[in-house]
Structure 1
């Protein structure tokens, strides 16, 4: 029997969709490879009434450089074009996720330049015509952000169906956070595999996090400051960065320290 609260509050029903949607979201953290995640994202999008979905992870490596990763359950040609043409530099939806945490309809985020208009037009052509833009927050703020696009190829699909839009918005938050965490773990593993940082080198980066200079670190490790400097130079080379502070930043946003 339906409770009186449910009968009087259709929004509450919308917030409690078919359990299979939550099951799909929960299975993300059990999936090891990206192909499996794309399959689950496709399934979750379909269960929510969306035709396509894409998750973008963005990590700040320095003051002027960011790394971007896509998990695309949508037109692969659009995803390839997005990366090839570096559309993340002119994506108003991604910029929305960098500035705030509230989900928003793509149609409510006006392009602010010709390049942004072109980016949105390309998304519309690829079938992202009515889109929920759902940011995923992290403990390091704007240094590591994520955003989920849940889209319909039908113009006005979510704008014209408030209950469907509310359902997508509620479940989409959980879906975005699970995808963000999954991608974060993968990027951390990749960084450690590529850089081959040792435990001792990670410990040095923790000293850098505390603002300790080479002399203070040398005293703590019972060694010479020049030895500390040499170890940091090795870390910088292994990570492909410009300075020990940048090495700390990259390690931090990847969750290594």
Structure 2
């Protein structure tokens, strides 16, 4: 378990200094500018589709030109022009118009990865991930946080920490290619790194072999890691545009370090969720113990024996108290929520 710095931001996402919400047909697009430290800013674009699927991109903003590049690559750019203009003005006001410094890798990759647990905001994660992946042979990367619908198995929440060409990720989302992504399908069911060339791409004309390659994703290493909850997993796609043999060789050689980076990014996110949930629900250690027992299949009789109370007290006092704190209709729902929020495993 990650020990967070005591001054970590409340949600780890950064202070919102601009937000613009736009209805575009049946979709909703929200643009946010977040401050992630004294000189760090992140652009967040969240798309909520009519069916409820949420896709959020987070990019580090070092200069005004990067906002222009992102807006130009947005398929809804014309409709969002007013929001992008307001966001740009806010960025210039908050940053003083100064481009942020791009420090190189301080120390070795393991040292940098070790700093992740002390990050207060996602913008700091983006800076470290960029430095580490580049040092390990990747020219671009996308770290994806993915939440599955427990019934259908479909991904209903995508959150991307992106160090890539914004035109590519916007195209990927706009064409709904996440519904036909062999890398994502592999990551759902596996936990070992793999090169995309070793996966079945259905055909030589698949978008991963043509469109993605045109945006610099010629060689891809995917590192999937699962959270243990069953409904949340992550994957790091590290890519370069080198000649295939050399490009794949450097990524494969560094697969263990890239997987370690993926694990640390996942742990950082889960630790933040645990911190939020613990603050929100104010559950005691005893109540967390009860939830773990219920999640593991324990009965009211098991709980009663563990707590030294009667079964009647479990049903009449212990379970209702937990349900009241968590706003759930029954203890099984409370246990499921505790798992999804990272309170218990």
Counterpart pick for 2:283 among 198, 203, 210 = 198
Q: How does 1:50-65 map to 2 (within 5 A)?
A: 50-60=138-148, 62-64=150-152
Aligned length: 231
The residue that corresponds to 1:168 in the other structure is 254
Checking the alignment, whether the CA contact within 8 Å between 2:229 and 2:340 is kept in structure 1 is no
Aligned CA distance change for structure 1 residues 210 and 179 (closer, same or farther; 3 Å): closer
Say yes or no: does 1:252 pair with 2:342: no
Counterpart pick for 2:264 among 157, 167, 178 = 178
The residue that corresponds to 1:30 in the other structure is 118
User: Separation in 1 of the partners of 2:300 and 2:200?
Assistant: 49
The residue that corresponds to 1:75 in the other structure is 165
Checking the alignment, whether the CA contact within 8 Å between 1:215 and 1:225 is kept in structure 2 is no
Q: How does 1:34-113 map to 2 (within 5 A)?
A: 34-60=122-148, 62-64=150-152, 67-76=157-166, 78-79=168-169, 88-112=178-202
The residue that corresponds to 2:218 in the other structure is 129
Say yes or no: does 1:151 pair with 2:243: no
Unaligned runs of 5+ in 1: 1-17
Checking the alignment, whether the CA contact within 8 Å between 2:221 and 2:237 is kept in structure 1 is yes
| Post-superposition offset of 1:87 | 5.0
Aligned CA distance change for structure 1 residues 214 and 132 (closer, same or farther; 3 Å): same
Checking the alignment, whether the CA contact within 8 Å between 1:59 and 1:253 is kept in structure 2 is no
User: Separation in 2 of the partners of 1:168 and 1:79?
Assistant: 24
User: Separation in 1 of the partners of 2:325 and 2:202?
Assistant: 40
User: Separation in 1 of the partners of 2:210 and 2:274?
Assistant: 33
Checking the alignment, whether the CA contact within 8 Å between 1:159 and 1:165 is kept in structure 2 is no
Checking the alignment, whether the CA contact within 8 Å between 1:90 and 1:119 is kept in structure 2 is no
User: Separation in 2 of the partners of 1:86 and 1:246?
Assistant: 32
The two structures have a TM-score, normalised by structure 1, of 0.70
C-alpha distance after superposition, 1:156-190 (max 9, x if no partner):
54544454233332321222222222222123234
Checking the alignment, whether the CA contact within 8 Å between 2:191 and 2:226 is kept in structure 1 is yes
User: Separation in 1 of the partners of 2:267 and 2:219?
Assistant: 26
Aligned CA distance change for structure 1 residues 104 and 207 (closer, same or farther; 3 Å): closer
Checking the alignment, whether the CA contact within 8 Å between 2:145 and 2:159 is kept in structure 1 is yes
Aligned CA distance change for structure 1 residues 246 and 20 (closer, same or farther; 3 Å): same
Checking the alignment, whether the CA contact within 8 Å between 1:158 and 1:165 is kept in structure 2 is no
The two structures have a TM-score, normalised by structure 2, of 0.55
Checking the alignment, whether the CA contact within 8 Å between 1:218 and 1:228 is kept in structure 2 is no
More helix by share: 1
